[in-house]
Chain A
Amino acid sequence: MSARALTFRAAALILLVAFITAPQLFAFVFKPLTVNDAPAIYNHGSLLALTLSHLRTVFLATLASTVLAVGLGIFVTRPSGSEFLPLSRSLVSIGQTFPPVAVLAIAVPLVGFGEKPTFIALFLYGLLPIFENTLAGLSEVPPQALEAAKGMGMNARQRLLQVELPLALPVILAGIRLSVIIGLGTATIGSTVAAKGLGEVIIAGLQSNNVAFVLQGGLVVALLAVLIHDGMGIAERAVARRLGRPVDEVA
């Protein structure tokens, strides 16, 4: 990464941290966007608390998606599980096609208002990218390396842990990154069912016709997404390097 790109990201990070910890400092920027003397900065809760709770929901949902999707991806690529590949693919795809808003609508009567329905919606929505990338990563493992591993007497478990997963890791990580980014944006709708998150700011703005609120919520989510996307990209490249692969091979 060039020095300029690095400076740019550092600046974005500082801006984000400053804004969510001391939003009043930026009141002058948002004031012109308000009408009728409405507040320029969201005042029904701390932006910091909302951001942390937003991140927490996304983190937990992606973690759960990762465990299930990677586990399922490994299972259906084993000889004993290959029959379940088409079924798993359809199930995971349904998770992606089903709109998160609809999931919320169904989940609320079952689990009540709050973080839980949001968690379920994000979890289902995040499965597909991780599952597909796990499949892609595992299928890209060079067959000769597997043949050699088997020929040297590695058992199925050793082949998985020592050869297949390490080689598939960069691709799996890319899938996780995609899920996190999708989740960050999607989590905002959780606020319609009373989940604590940045969606609250946006919805409050929409309800009170306050553009400043909408913009604040949107900006924080966008900055989070950009920074997390970059951070995870750097981590992926570091992993790929440690795995001895030329960096440019990992898109």
Chain B
Amino acid sequence: MIEIEHLTKRYGETIVVDDVSLRVEEGTIAVVVGTSGAGKSTLLRMINRLVEPSSGRVLIDGRDTLSIPEDELRHRIGYVIQAYGLFPHRTVSQNIATVPRLLGWDRKKIAARVDELLDLFQLDPGEFAEKFPHELSGGQQQRVGVARALAAKPAVLLMDEPFGALDPVIRSKAQDDLLAIQRRLGATIVLVTHDMNEAFHLGDRIAVMDQARLLQYAAPAELLTHPAEPFVEQLTGTAERPFRLLSLTRVKEALEPGNAEGEALVLSTTLHDALARLIALGKDALPVIDASGKAVGRITVERILAHGRLPA
């Protein structure tokens, strides 16, 4: 768990981060969004003390980060940056082994951990372990960057625009992979991005920053239904908000009893996708099945639209 309390960073007269407080629960993803220059990266870099706060403090699992020596603190916090910063003179496995080596793990343990991570990130150890970063594609470099950050099983993972350098197709795959890995490892992640879709896709909670201030820190749905300030509403896309809301809600939550004709949808489909199917098939209702294929009810256009309604 990360607790940020009244964190402020000033450079001379300029305030880059202004009295930000937020708490990231164990095993969740907090996404920090905002326009460039909003102070997102500085906020992130104050967590691992790459930037020293002017005032305020950060607690990780209840411990004040200022009480831990800088380097030791960073060994326990995974850090991924936009261009990954892989060491060009080291192979993939040497790159991944960086922090375990700094921590003085024995060679067997390091080798086992590297293989485990390569497997986790779908990089065949036989093919990739001895490759150099310049021999990898962008997507592969990105995975090595994240694997390296996770190598010493850090309590917390900080990611600064980790998907920014990827093309859109690979990006959404990389985001899904990250989600799957995060669920598996139960990692606590703070991720900075300026991409709203990414924020809604990944965030358990989203922090919206503008001009050094934290405007709102809330679950994605709340950000849409109760934006704290006009800027939040604008950033989430005024016209897009109902659709985003539907993307966040699953068929399960709008299920009604009864039957319908046609191709069945599963419970975990988002309302956004369900509505798309209904429109495409020209139907008012479709049957719903659970994961085992058993019919459990139906979904109607009317119910979906009700879920997309925003409070006045």
Complex CA gap A244/B87 in Å reads: 10
Residue of A nearest to B48 (CB): A151
Give the one of A145, A146, A154, A155 with max B CB within 10 A.
A145
Whether A243 contacts B74 by the Cβ 8 Å rule is no
Complex CA gap A108/B89 in Å reads: 46
Whether B81 contacts A144 by the Cβ 8 Å rule is yes
Query: How many Å from the CB of A167 to the closest CB on chain B?
Result: 6
**In the complex, chain B residues whose CB is within 8 Å of the CB of A155:** 71
* CB of A153 within 8 Å of the partner chain: yes
Whether A245 contacts B89 by the Cβ 8 Å rule is yes
Query: How many Å from the CB of A40 to the closest CB on chain B?
Result: 53
Interface residues of A in 216-251 (CB under 8 A from B): 243-246
**In the complex, chain A residues whose CB is within 8 Å of the CB of B50:** 147, 150-151
* CB of B75 within 8 Å of the partner chain: yes
* CB of A76 within 8 Å of the partner chain: no
Whether A148 contacts B72 by the Cβ 8 Å rule is no
With contact pairs A166-B89, A167-B89 given, residues A152 and B134 touching in the complex (Cβ less than 8 Å): no
Whether B134 contacts A246 by the Cβ 8 Å rule is yes
Number of interface residues of B (CB under 8 A): 30
Whether B79 contacts A152 by the Cβ 8 Å rule is yes
**In the complex, chain A residues whose CB is within 8 Å of the CB of B84:** 144, 148
Whether A158 contacts B102 by the Cβ 8 Å rule is yes
Query: How many Å from the CB of B98 to the closest CB on chain A?
Result: 6
Query: How many Å from the CB of B311 to the closest CB on chain A?
Result: 42
Interface residues of B in 156-211 (CB under 8 A from A): 158
Closest 7 CB pairs of A and B: A148-B85, A244-B132, A153-B74, A151-B79, A144-B85, A243-B89, A153-B75
Enumerate chain B interface residues (CB-CB to A < 8 A).
Answer: 48, 50, 70-75, 79, 81-91, 98-99, 102, 132-134, 145, 148-149, 158
A-B contact pairs, 17 of them (CB 8 A): A144-B85, A145-B85, A147-B50, A148-B84, A149-B85, A150-B50, A151-B48, A152-B149, A153-B74, A153-B99, A153-B102, A154-B71, A158-B102, A163-B89, A244-B132, A244-B134, A245-B132
